[in-house]
Chains A and B, each alone.
Chain A
Amino acid sequence: MSSQDIPEENLPAEQESAAGEVADERNPFADPGLPPHEPRIQDIDERAAKRSERTVALLFTLSMLAAVGFIASYLAIPVDKSIYVFPLGHVSALNFALGLTLGVALFAIGAGAVHWARTLMSDVEVADERHPIEASPEVKAKVMADFRQGAKESAIGRRKLIRTTMFGALTVVPLSSLFLLGGLGPKPGTKLRHTAWRNGKLLVNMNTNQPMRPSDVAVGSLTFAKPEGLEEHDEEFQNEIAKAALMLVRLEPVDIKDKKELEWSHEGIVAYSKICTHVGCPISLYEQQTHHVLCPCHQSTFDLSDGARVIFGPAGHALPQLRIGVNADGYLEALGDFEEPVGPAFWERG
């Protein structure tokens, strides 16, 4: 959009009056020009100037002393020494000493330089002329003529075949680099749909690393579990636990409002995915009176007595439940994998 449709008179007048123009009798607001320079005490009193000089020199000396202190601290203070500093509490002695000496060493250089500039260097204000950024019409005409000449000599406008194929090549060749990026990772496939849980896998207590009997899950407690066979040292432990992490709570069966939840539970013990359905934080706060669990990241809250539906926060759907039972030896086991993907929702989730 050009400015053509705005009449010139609607634009404010060009800034009038260059610096130093004599005040106009008819214009009380005219620019009086740069005010005269007012000397500082250092400009007229050599003793004051000497004082400033000493102050600057003192600051530079302080910087040197602090730097020596830095080196001394580096050499002398043991790296694991802890000291009590009010009001910080116990801090690393080395870090504290190095930081403060370095801080003073640097700050004093800066303070000295600035004090020097402010008190001893000339503070007479000077005006520089500005020049328009735009080129003059003559320069522009010359550039345009040169460009046309160059374009004409290349014959890019006349030999269309060359132009078209060149642009074609420059477009197609970069496409090949896109394919290199394809190696960055595997295709999603159904990876996000499956976890390490299988029918018959025992529920192993995350803390004790032992399989659990129903009697190990007390009313009102929150227990975290992993599938049997998944060990911390496994190569893929992080990837597997990121999906398989499970939380167990025991409710009174009469408190369970959701019919499917009751069916999939065992003696009131229900097992839900620990991974929040919002953006995947592990849920870790349990309010035993209300049977609510809360994700500490974004405060999504789920009601474990009602199919883990969302009762507050930004999560979009309920936590997936794992169907559990007990095996012949009386240990809690999974009766299959989660029936829906755990964790955050995604396009293919459906």
Chain B
Amino acid sequence: MSTNPSNESGARREPPAGERVADWADGRLGIYSLAKANMRKIFPDHWSFMLGEVCMYSFIIIILTGVYLTLFFHPSMNEVVYDGSYVPLQGQLMSEAFNSTMHISFEVRGGLLIRQIHHWAALIFLAGMFVHMMRVFFTGAFRKPREVNWLFGFLLFVLGMFTGFTGYSLPDDLLSGTGVRFMEGAILSVPIVGTYISMFLYGGEFPGHDFVARFYSIHILLLPGIMLGLMVAHLILVFYHKHTQFAGPGKTNNNVVGMPLLPVYMAKAGGFFFLVFGVIAAIAAIASINPIWGIGPYRADQVSTGAQPDWYMGFAEGLIRVMPGWEINLWGHTLVLGVFIPLVIFPLVLAAIAVYPFIESWVTGDKREHHILDRPRNAPTRTAFGVAWLTAYLVMLVGGGNDLWATHFHLSINAITWFVRITFFVGPVLAFIITKRICLGLQRRDRDKVLHGRESGIIKRLPHGEFIEVHEPLSQEQLHTLTAHEQYQPAEIGPLVDENGVERKLKGSQKLRAKLSTAYFGEENQIPKPTAEEYKEITSGHGHH
């Protein structure tokens, strides 16, 4: 700077150190342009927008604690004799993986805490992603322009499941080893190539000597690497699209209303990281998780009762438990439908929710951008579909824990199995119908509120003796908020014959689309929101309700 002659006169006051560092960085990284667009970026406020943050923060916590664990963990299946400080297992044969996990838990100071934070954070990460995904689904935040980000998020959820599975398999304990064996059995059921995949995955017969080392590189490098990339892309798109917001006074599809990143969201979101981390650390202090010392090392001929996977795998576990044991033997080959069908349904159920945004945009034919969130009641068919999907998922979670349901509630396992089998098909249909009725009821209620005002709870007696409840008119803000949502008209297919009486050629897809559109937006499937005319007609009347 001192070499710049034009600066001499004006450079009496040196800029502060922070500014000089920023200048240096701007000359190389262009940070001022970046900050101009983002430093005062506006974020809208709603509690449900924190769910995604929970996921992001727990992911960061998992990475931090995971790196620490790699410093002590030995991903090896070599058998060693335990001589650590936990007396009940002394002298037992176990893999180095199990031995080093015991070492982390009993000899490394703070090792158990980091292990438990890692595992708890993983459970919370998956639960957070699930709930965040439901938030995005039920408010229609997946609509254009956010379909791709929905898919990124979905992939994060699926990869998170497999990262979790490979992670809890690493200690090579009796419980997780049983899960790995279950995976082998499931892979063997794949027609034609099943035995090959199994041999290639395990480096030979189960359990072999390789799977811990292989799962290790998948768990600490391959999957988290992909997930980190996806998460960065997910966040870049959130920034680029700007956040969605609920309808309200001053909030339109063309703006975003809230408070600026600096300082409010820097403090709130930054502080929230510490809140999440603090809560997880406290959970890890008081609630033990995966106590492998009580489970013991894996032996292929041993098992414990009540074997359960981590919760996010429970849905797949349910499918495999309630499926009838169908096997078809033909021409010297076996088709293991009892295992293979659940293996196929598992990704299909997940895919159903993943592709939903594309189905909905096809039905509506809407190509515009949507930044105003729907209240779930205002999209009854979507909401009903989401609840139906959740029902199927939860029913299978029940199926996955059928033994625990049986022992804890003194139920017959046979009855539970049949309940799950039937409810898996019937439950979603009932949930769909009931949810839709509830949504329509709530829409009617909103309509009443707009047209007749809010119930005040005040009973008035009229001169001629009639009792009425006084309804208070809503404020302009409330009126606007309750009527701001859009309503589609069902897509019409047009006359089936043209003006000359010749039958029009209609593609099957067109007919299907018209049908779906009616199911979404037909007369019985949404309550028309009140119009200004209806409102005026009623409010200009003389005090009747």
A185-B199, A297-B178, A314-B324 given as contacts; is B302 within 8 A of A282 (CB)?
yes
Question: Is the beta-carbon distance between A281 and B264 smaller than 8 angstroms?
Answer: no
B112 interface residue, CB < 8 Å from A? yes
B173 at the interface (CB under 8 A from A): no
Interface centre among A14, A34, A242, A314 (most CB of B within 10 A): A314
Q: Mark A304-339, 1 if CB is under 8 A from B, else 0.
A: 000000101111110000000000000000000000
Number of interface residues of A (CB under 8 A): 118
Q: Is the CB of B268 within 8 A of A32?
A: no
A138: Cβ under 8 A from any B Cβ:
no
User: Chain A 223-265, CB within 8 Å of chain B: the 1/0 string?
Assistant: 0101000001100001101110100000000000000000000
Q: In the bound complex, do residue A117 and residue B275 qualify as a contact, i.e. CB atoms below 8 Å apart?
A: no
Once bound together, how far apart are the Cα atoms of A103 and B278, in whole Å?
Answer: 4
Tell me the minimal C-beta distance from A221 to chain B in angstroms: 17
* Residues on the B chain within 8 Å of A158, using CB: none
CA distance A125 to B335 in the complex (A): 62
A347: which of B276, B304, B333 is its contact (CB, 8 Å)? Answer: B333
B8 at the interface (CB under 8 A from A): no
Identify which of residues 474-506 in chain B touch chain A, using a CB-to-CB cut-off of 8 Å: 476-477, 479-480, 483-484, 486-492
A96 at interface (Cβ–Cβ under 8 A)? yes
Q: Are B256 and A117 in contact (CB under 8 A)?
A: no
Q: Which chain B residues in 321-371 approach chain A with CB under 8 Å?
A: 321-327, 329, 332-336, 338-339, 362, 365-369, 371
Contacts of B510 in A (CB 8 A): 5
Q: Given A224-B301, A239-B207, A281-B181: A106 and B277 within 8 A (CB)? A: yes
Residues on B with C-beta less than 8 A from A1 are: 362, 509, 513
Does A141 interact with chain B (Cβ within 8 Å)? no
Beyond A1-B362, A74-B109, A114-B272, is A350–B333 a contact (Cβ under 8 Å)?
yes
Interface residues in A163-209 by Cβ distance below 8 A to B read 181-182, 184-188, 191-192, 206
Binds A, one of B19-27, B244-252, B441-449: B244-252
A window 270-319: CB within 8 A of B: 274-275, 278-282, 284-285, 296-300, 310, 312-317
Stretch touching chain B among A39-47, A129-137, A148-156: A129-137
The interface residues of chain B lying within 8 Å CB-to-CB of A161 are none
Assembled-state Cα–Cα distance A152/B360 (Å): 39
Q: Which residue of A lies closest to B78 (CB)?
A: A235
At the interface, yes or no: B182 with Cβ under 8 Å from chain A? yes
Instruction: Please determine whether B254 and A128 come into contact, CB atoms closer than 8 angstroms.
Output: no
**CB of B217 within 8 A of chain A?**
no
- CB contact under 8 A between A344 and B339, given known A28-B532, A126-B42: yes
Closest to B107 in A: A79
A185 contacts B204, C-beta separation under 8 Å: yes
Residue-wise, chain B 176-190 has the 8 Å CB interface mask toward A (1 for contact) of 001001101110111
- Residues on A with beta carbons closer than 8 Å to the beta carbon of B253: 14-15, 130
Q: Does A111 contact B (CB under 8 A)?
A: yes
Query: Which residues of B, 295-339, contact A by the 8 Å Cβ criterion?
Result: 298-307, 320-327, 329, 332-336, 338-339
The 5 closest A-B pairs by CB, nearest first: A99-B285, A279-B185, A107-B278, A113-B271, A34-B250
Chain A residues within 8 Å of B, Cβ to Cβ: 1, 3, 5-7, 9-15, 17-20, 23, 26-35, 74, 79-80, 85, 88, 91-92, 94-100, 102-114, 116-118, 121-130, 132-133, 181-182, 184-188, 191-192, 206, 224, 226, 232-233, 238-239, 241-243, 245, 274-275, 278-282, 284-285, 296-300, 310, 312-317, 343-350
